[in-house]
């Protein structure tokens, strides 16, 4: 008889269960329901009890208990089931069992032993008779744990032997950067997972303290050379960053070194952040540009924010946008009484509502389709919900589009803000937080100028009411730069261009920008809103400026390509209204510190509300006739630092007045009747003449 080799047996099994040609596909079989796993474990408990009884009968022990064998069995199995449920031993996926599952089984069975032994001794002290033979319980504990653990090991090994991925060329050879507990946990998770994605060659210790030792039978390497040299010396293809103490500067230096030499860089989450232990390698990802631009986590004054929001009715405009939706998510954490979510975009608002169904918990929320340009509609929203706090994030923000459509920028960014601010005062809203932009500082485009005028309106409205000694809405403005991942941001644009094979387009080789993540920006908006007393313009510490050319080059390398060889970078020229750099503060303004290191107050104060109001209504009157040049001219008169760049409106700069609005271009006075006429009958939607 011919011997059947293990390889032939394995190959035969593969053919039997070959995907697409079989009646039974064990490799892709669905995970068994938890109740079936629990039923199998109970069967193992019963079998272990039978084995224990048989072993005890073979021993020359004489003992007497008050319970029958059936009663003993039911009680022992019952207590074990209780601890199975408590420790959730049945919840793991058997084919992906790890040492954590083994520990759960150990704790569960040992707890059962202690409980049953305790009950037996308690019965002895009370009634003078033991319920169980304690040595027999201990024997049962050992046997049941061994069988339960063996069952999991056998199932895992069967799946690994017959259905695991075995093509060695698919494994990426890596070093793990780090030698602490987090790095060890990462290595354990990688080694116990199927299919295996990485082959670990060793650990890299930046402290150089443990280089003579080994972890998991793998060497600890010293970081006394460049990372690329270590990778080359050990035949590795990449590195997994698992050192939780790695600084941003160290990370950037290491990543740059690896990318320039063609090595892959992966990031692993902290153990505390693991989403799913069974799918850990899915959480090890190629390093992204966001990982290199991120900063230290922001520490919020949760007590003061909670005081401002807990139990309050909060309204968010532009709630379906990238900034507005994140403000909504973060406000939810502070348990408001009611969250009113307003946007004019139907589909994104619907998607946000579906998300909130899972996030909102007990917080009540209302989704409202409304346009901030429509005074009458927004008035009804205020009447219906009486918001106590407003976050105004609705705005047009794309510079080239607003340069082509200045009237629309006036309708939404200026008049939309005016509508919301006036309604907040009229309905006695406690606080109004406006989301602005660094493009409002020394604006070079229509969008930035429109946001600056909106800032001026809300600030002057506050000081006007304060001067009249009215108890009024506290108006606060927050100003920050570009946010990563927002709609229209350069980062997702570059990712899309790289995915298509290029070219990556930038407008100028020397252009620089400040970046902040969306969650970080929104946390600072909440913090500034909580600390604001009224009339402030808060500016955020945006960190170091980033050269867009360097950003594009790094993103191409992160994607595994070589700049200018695999993917080219094309310079297209500055767009209309675009600056080489953005500012958070005007030349004449200074800053005052706050208790938060990342938030400052700009000493820019506009308090002549009647003047600003006349200018705004004058701009609107011209804008609703779609006279672009005249509209922009009036904006420049109100914001004298507004100087167009690379724009059709540059010719208007020569006649711009000095500081402050040009009186010759504004109405001499405006009555309430005239204001209503400017808005249109009944204050209907602005921007639609007639």
The answer to whether residues 471 and 431 touch, using CB atoms and an 8 Å cutoff, is no
The answer to whether residues 289 and 551 touch, using CB atoms and an 8 Å cutoff, is yes
Q: What are phi and psi of 102, to 5 degrees?
A: -65, -40
d(C-alpha 552, C-alpha 471), whole Å: 51
3-class DSSP state of 174: strand
439 catalytic? Reply is: yes
Helices 69-87 & 34-57, crossing angle to 10 degrees?
140
d(C-alpha 177, C-alpha 175), whole Å: 6
CA-closest candidate to residue 109, choices 134, 143, 133: 143
Name the β-bridge partners of 392: 317, 434
Q: Count H helices and E strands in the chain, helices first.
A: 23, 22
The answer to whether residues 581 and 547 touch, using CB atoms and an 8 Å cutoff, is no
d(C-alpha 557, C-alpha 260), whole Å: 8
Q: Please report, for residues 251, 305, 309, 675, 685, the alpha-carbon distance to residue 529 in angstroms, rounded to integers and kept in the order given.
A: 33, 8, 10, 31, 29
Q: Please report, for residues 78, 118, 412, 543, the alpha-carbon distance to residue 48 in angstroms, rounded to integers and kept in the order given.
A: 14, 21, 74, 63
Q: HEC profile for 445-513? A: CHHHHHHHHHHHHHHHHHHHHHHCCCCCCEEEEEEECEEECCCCCHHHHHHHHHHCCCCEEECCCCCEE
The answer to whether residues 317 and 391 touch, using CB atoms and an 8 Å cutoff, is yes
The dihedral through the CA atoms of 418, 424, 425, 426 has a sign that is positive
Helices 134-163 & 34-57, crossing angle to 10 degrees?
130
**HSE (CB half, 13 Å, CA atoms) of 75?**
16
Q: Which two tokens stand for residue 439?
A: 């493009």
Catalytic, out of 130, 223, 418, 439: 439
Residues catalogued as catalytic: 439
């Amino acid at each position: 008889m011919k011997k059947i080799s293990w390889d032939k047996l394995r190959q035969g099994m593969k053919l039997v269960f070959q995907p697409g040609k079989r009646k039974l596909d064990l490799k892709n079989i669905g995970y068994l329901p938890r109740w079936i796993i629990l039923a199998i474990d109970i069967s193992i408990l019963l079998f272990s009890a039978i084995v224990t009884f048989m072993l005890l009968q073979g021993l020359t022990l004489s003992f007497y208990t008050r319970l029958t064998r059936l009663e003993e069995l039911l009680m022992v199995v019952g207590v074990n089931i209780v601890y199975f449920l408590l420790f959730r031993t049945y919840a793991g996926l058997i084919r992906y069992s790890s040492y954590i599952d083994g520990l759960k089984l150990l704790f569960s069975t040992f707890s059962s032993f202690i409980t049953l032994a305790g009950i037996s001794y308690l019965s002895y002290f009370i009634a003078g008779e033991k319920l169980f033979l304690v040595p027999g319980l201990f024997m049962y504990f050992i046997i049941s744990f061994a069988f339960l653990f063996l069952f999991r090991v056998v199932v895992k090994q069967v799946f690994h032997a017959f259905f695991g991925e075995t093509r060695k060329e698919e494994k990426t050879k890596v070093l793990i950067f780090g030698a602490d507990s987090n790095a060890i946990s990462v290595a354990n998770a990688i080694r116990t997972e199927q299919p295996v994605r990485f082959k670990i060659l060793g650990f890299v210790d930046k402290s150089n303290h443990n280089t003579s030792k080994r972890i998991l039978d793998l060497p600890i390497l010293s970081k006394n050379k460049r990372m690329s040299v270590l990778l080359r010396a050990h035949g590795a293809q990449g590195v997994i960053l698992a050192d939780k103490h790695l600084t941003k500067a160290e990370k950037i230096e290491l990543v740059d070194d690896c990318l320039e030499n063609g090595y892959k860089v992966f990031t692993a989450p902290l153990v505390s952040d693991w989403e799913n232990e069974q799918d850990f390698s899915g959480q090890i990802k190629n390093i992204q540009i966001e990982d290199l631009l991120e900063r230290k986590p922001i520490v919020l004054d949760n007590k003061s924010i909670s005081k401002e929001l807990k139990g309050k009715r909060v309204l968010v405009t532009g709630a379906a946008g990238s900034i507005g939706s994140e403000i909504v998510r973060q406000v939810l954490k502070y348990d408001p009484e009611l969250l009113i979510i307003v946007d004019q975009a139907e589909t994104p608002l619907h998607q946000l509502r579906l998300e909130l169904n899972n996030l909102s918990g007990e917080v009540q929320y209302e989704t409202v389709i409304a346009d901030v340009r429509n005074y009458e509609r927004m008035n009804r929203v205020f009447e219906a919900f009486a918001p106590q706090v407003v976050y105004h994030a609705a705005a047009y923000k794309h510079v080239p589009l607003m340069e082509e459509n200045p009237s629309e920028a006036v309708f939404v960014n200026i008049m939309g803000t005016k509508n919301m601010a006036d309604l907040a005062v009229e309905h006695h809203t406690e606080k109004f937080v406006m989301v602005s932009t660094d493009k409002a500082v020394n604006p070079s485009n229509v969008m930035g100028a429109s946001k600056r005028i909106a800032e001026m309106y809300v600030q002057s409205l506050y000081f006007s009411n304060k001067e009249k000694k009215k108890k009024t809405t506290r108006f606060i403005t927050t100003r920050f730069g570009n946010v990563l991942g927002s709609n229209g941001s350069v980062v997702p644009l570059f990712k899309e261009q790289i995915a298509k094979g290029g070219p990556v387009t930038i407008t100028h080789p020397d252009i620089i920008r400040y970046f902040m993540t969306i969650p970080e920006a929104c946390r600072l908006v909440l913090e500034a809103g909580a600390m604001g007393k009224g009339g402030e313009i808060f500016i955020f510490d945006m960190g170091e400026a980033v050269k867009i050319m360097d950003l594009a080059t790094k993103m191409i390398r992160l994607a595994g390509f070589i700049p200018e060889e695999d993917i080219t970078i094309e310079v297209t020229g500055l767009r209309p209204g675009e600056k080489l750099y953005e500012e958070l503060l005007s030349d004449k303004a200074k800053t005052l510190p706050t208790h938060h290191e990342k938030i400052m107050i700009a000493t820019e104060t506009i308090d002549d509300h009647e003047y600003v109001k006349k200018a705004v209504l004058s701009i609107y009157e011209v804008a609703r006739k779609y006279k672009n040049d005249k509209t922009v001219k009036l904006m420049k008169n109100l914001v004298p630092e507004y100087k167009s760049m690379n724009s059709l409106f540059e010719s208007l700069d020569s006649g711009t007045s000095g500081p402050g609005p040009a009186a010759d271009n504004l109405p001499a006075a405006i009555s309430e009747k005239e204001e209503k006429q400017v808005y249109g009958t009944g204050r209907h939607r602005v921007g639609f003449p007639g």
